[in-house]
């Protein structure tokens, strides 16, 4: 049987997907990115060396694994070239192992300028995007204004389209008071980057189809997290792509029936970068402790991440909508030393907030000020106003980074894992206990 596995972040991104993909890639023939761009920042730590990856799939350090950037990914040429060079200079063979779809859309200088200009225009309501041009590139894609690697290969077509689009975008940028993009200068820069990319351009659909026919082991590396999915997040506090495994079909051309495993990555607590609701966010001493011990600073932008307790109401939804078949828990080591650990097991909300969007006011049970509401019924207004219902679990003191079996974990840590497993109703198959490749427990 085929093994086609999808790794999906079940929270707001930065769950530790890169570490897990690198670990699982040991036995994968192909690792595939299928959506998002260099707003993703996936960290791999091998032999004490840290690799922050934004576009190259996290299987690149395994010499027998091939890496595919499939059609759903959007590409910033400068970032991709510098990432390729980082590995080449490190002695990693990339040639013959990296394949980039010519259907990928390009993130161009005006996309980044527009992303930043729109954020500035939003003022206090800014979304906190990564400023990497993600939203503007995906919106150009669906409004038929995008430019793909296909055109980059056919340089004359690229020059024509890039000139036309830059002229239009410069008019828009002018209204924001932003200086114009210099077409000639940018074309010169892109022409140089193009030469470095061309050897990797391929028909990735055919590569993956043949791999599936040959029963190869394929690992699809999701980016971001379900809570940022363009449809299932509290829009517009979203990223520009679908994050759920449905995007494997549109973003890599792999039929959904071929997917055999969906691995949901659950960080043992919550983090979020940028604006938008975060129901279990905390601001106290514990928040600072988790942020510092967990190094919760963005891999892409270096921004401090907001932190909070594990939100199982949100994670349960993410697992359901993604069809998660097994769970990996990450960063549980960061909770060592906390006396008590809270876990959100549901949301409660005053009916007056719900009633705004419903024809009839929901009935309030006698003696109650609020009623239960599932994540899926919440928009940003509800998520900002609800009260999380917490279960408090006892913590543990021991450092668990070097523990190699579930039984050797402190009893309260075991109970924490079991609580998550029972709540989600999905087996936990792997626990990550540190950033390094070898720091994990298999169940």
Q: Binding site for substrate: what residues are annotated?
A: 299-305
Region 255-314 residues binding ligand GDP, contact defined as CB under 6 A: 295, 299
The C-alpha atoms of residue 41 and residue 50 are separated, in whole angstroms, by: 12
Minimal CA–CA distance to 57: which of 187, 162, 207, 192? Answer: 207
CB atoms within 10 A of CB 57: 30
371 Rama sector, left if φ>0, alpha if ψ -120 to 50, beta otherwise: beta
Piece of the chain touching ligand IMO by CB under 6 A; list 39-47, 78-86, 189-197, 288-296? 39-47
The structure tokens 């999905």 sit at 426
Judged by beta carbon distances under 5 to 8 A according to partner kind, the member of Mg ion, ligand IMO, ligand GDP, none in contact with residue 234 is none
Among 5, 7, 14, 80, binds Mg ion (CB under 5 A): 14
Among 5, 6, 15, 388, binds ligand GDP (CB under 6 A): 15
The C-alpha atoms of residue 187 and residue 169 are separated, in whole angstroms, by: 15
Query: Residue 130, interface with ligand IMO (CB under 6 A)?
Result: yes
Region 41-70 residues binding Mg ion, contact defined as CB under 5 A: 41
Judged by beta carbon distances under 5 to 8 A according to partner kind, the member of ligand GDP, Mg ion, ligand IMO, none in contact with residue 132 is ligand IMO
Query: Residue 13, interface with ligand IMO (CB under 6 A)?
Result: yes
**Furthest-apart CA atoms within the chain: distance in Å:** 72
Query: Residue 136, interface with Mg ion (CB under 5 A)?
Result: no
Region 98-117 residues binding ligand IMO, contact defined as CB under 6 A: none
Minimal CA–CA distance to 431: which of 423, 422, 391, 421? Answer: 421
Q: What is the DSSP string of 247-261?
A: HHHHHH---GGG--E
261, with CB counted inside 10 A (0-12, 13-18, 19+), is middle
Query: Residue 38, interface with Mg ion (CB under 5 A)?
Result: no
Residue 42 annotated to the active site: yes
Judged by beta carbon distances under 5 to 8 A according to partner kind, the member of Mg ion, ligand IMO, ligand GDP, none in contact with residue 334 is ligand GDP
Q: Which is nearer to ligand IMO, 155 or 297 (CB)?
A: 297
The C-alpha atoms of residue 122 and residue 384 are separated, in whole angstroms, by: 19
Residue 76 annotated to the active site: no
Among 5, 8, 12, 16, binds ligand GDP (CB under 6 A): 16
Query: Residue 331, interface with ligand GDP (CB under 6 A)?
Result: yes
Query: Residue 274, interface with Mg ion (CB under 5 A)?
Result: no
Q: Which is nearer to ligand IMO, 133 or 346 (CB)?
A: 133
Q: Provide the β-strand partners of residue 73.
A: 36
Alpha helices in 239-310 (DSSP H): 247-252, 285-293
Which phi and psi angles does 112 have, rounded to 5°?
-65, -40
* Sign for the pseudo-dihedral over CA of 245, 346, 42, 25: negative
Q: Which is nearer to ligand IMO, 57 or 346 (CB)?
A: 57
Enter the tokens of residue 289.
């402790």
Task: Summarize the annotated binding site for Mg(2+) as residue ranges.
Answer: 14, 41
Set 14, 22, 29, 311: catalytic member: 14
Minimum CB separation of residue 388 from ligand GDP in Å reads 23
Pairing of strands 428-432, 440-442: antiparallel
* Sign for the pseudo-dihedral over CA of 271, 274, 278, 283: positive
Judged by beta carbon distances under 5 to 8 A according to partner kind, the member of ligand IMO, ligand GDP, Mg ion, none in contact with residue 330 is ligand GDP
Judged by beta carbon distances under 5 to 8 A according to partner kind, the member of ligand IMO, Mg ion, ligand GDP, none in contact with residue 204 is none
Q: Provide the β-strand partners of residue 327.
A: 264, 428
Judged by beta carbon distances under 5 to 8 A according to partner kind, the member of Mg ion, ligand GDP, ligand IMO, none in contact with residue 333 is ligand GDP
Pairing of strands 66-69, 98-101: parallel
Query: Residue 334, interface with ligand GDP (CB under 6 A)?
Result: yes
The C-alpha atoms of residue 312 and residue 328 are separated, in whole angstroms, by: 14
Set 35, 42, 54, 105: catalytic member: 42
Minimal CA–CA distance to 224: which of 239, 246, 206, 212? Answer: 239
Region 172-211 residues binding ligand IMO, contact defined as CB under 6 A: none
Region 284-303 residues binding Mg ion, contact defined as CB under 5 A: 299
Minimum CB separation of residue 236 from Mg ion in Å reads 20
404, 438 contact by CB (below 8 A): no
Judged by beta carbon distances under 5 to 8 A according to partner kind, the member of ligand GDP, ligand IMO, Mg ion, none in contact with residue 388 is none
Measured at the alpha carbon of residue 56, what is the angle toward residues 305 and 209, in degrees to the nearest 5?
125
Q: Which residues are designated catalytic? A: 14, 42
Q: Write out the residues near ligand GDP by the rule CB under 6 A.
A: 9, 13-19, 41-43, 45, 295, 299, 330-331, 333-334, 432-435
Q: Write out the residues near ligand IMO by the rule CB under 6 A.
A: 9, 13-14, 39-42, 127-130, 132, 134-135, 223-225, 228, 239-240, 273-274, 299
């Amino acid at each position: 049987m085929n093994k086609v596995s999808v790794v999906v972040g079940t929270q707001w991104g930065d769950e530790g997907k890169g570490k897990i993909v690198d670990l699982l890639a040991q036995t994968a023939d192909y690792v595939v990115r299928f959506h998002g761009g260099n707003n993703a920042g996936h960290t791999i730590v091998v032999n004490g060396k840290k690799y922050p990856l934004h576009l190259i799939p996290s299987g690149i350090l395994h010499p027998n694994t091939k890496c595919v950037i499939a059609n759903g990914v959007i590409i910033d040429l400068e970032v991709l070239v510098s990432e390729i060079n980082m590995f080449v200079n490190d002695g990693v063979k990339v040639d013959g192992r990296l394949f980039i779809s010519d259907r990928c859309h390009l993130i161009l200088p005006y996309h980044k300028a527009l992303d930043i200009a729109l954020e500035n225009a939003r003022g206090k309501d800014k979304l906190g995007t990564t400023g990497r041009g993600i939203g503007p590139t995906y919106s150009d894609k669906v409004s038929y204004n995008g430019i793909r690697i296909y055109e980059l290969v056919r340089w004359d077509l690229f020059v024509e389209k890039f000139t036309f689009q830059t002229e239009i975008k410069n008019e828009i940028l002018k209204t924001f008071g932003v200086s114009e993009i210099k077409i000639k200068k940018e074309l010169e820069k892109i022409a140089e980057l193009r030469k470095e990319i061309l050897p990797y351009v391929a028909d990735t659909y055919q590569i993956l189809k043949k791999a599936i026919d040959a029963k190869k082991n394929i690992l699809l590396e999701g980016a971001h997290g379900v809570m940022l999915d363009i449809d299932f997040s509290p829009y517009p506090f979203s990223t520009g792509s679908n994050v759920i495994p449905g995007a494997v079909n549109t973003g890599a051309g792999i039929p959904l029936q071929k997917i055999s495993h969906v691995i949901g990555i659950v960080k043992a607590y919550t983090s979020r970068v940028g604006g938008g609701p975060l129901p279990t966010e905390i601001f106290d001493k514990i928040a600072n402790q988790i942020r510092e011990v967990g190094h919760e600073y963005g891999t892409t932008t270096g921004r401090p991440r907001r932190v909070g307790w594990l939100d199982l109401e949100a994670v349960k939804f993410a697992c359901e909508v993604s069809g998660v078949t097994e769970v990996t828990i990450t960063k549980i080591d960061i909770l060592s030393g906390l006396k008590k650990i809270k876990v959100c097991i549901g949301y409660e909300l005053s009916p007056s907030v719900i009633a705004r969007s419903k024809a009839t006011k929901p009935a309030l049970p006698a003696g109650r000020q609020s009623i239960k509401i599932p994540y899926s019924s919440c928009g940003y207004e509800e998520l900002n106003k609800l009260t999380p219902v917490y279960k408090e679990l006892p913590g543990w003191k021991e450092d668990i980074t070097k523990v190699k079996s579930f039984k050797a974990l402190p009893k309260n840590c075991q109970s924490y894992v079991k609580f998550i497993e029972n709540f989600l109703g999905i087996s936990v198959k792997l626990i990550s206990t540190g950033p390094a490749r070898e720091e994990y427990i298999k169940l």
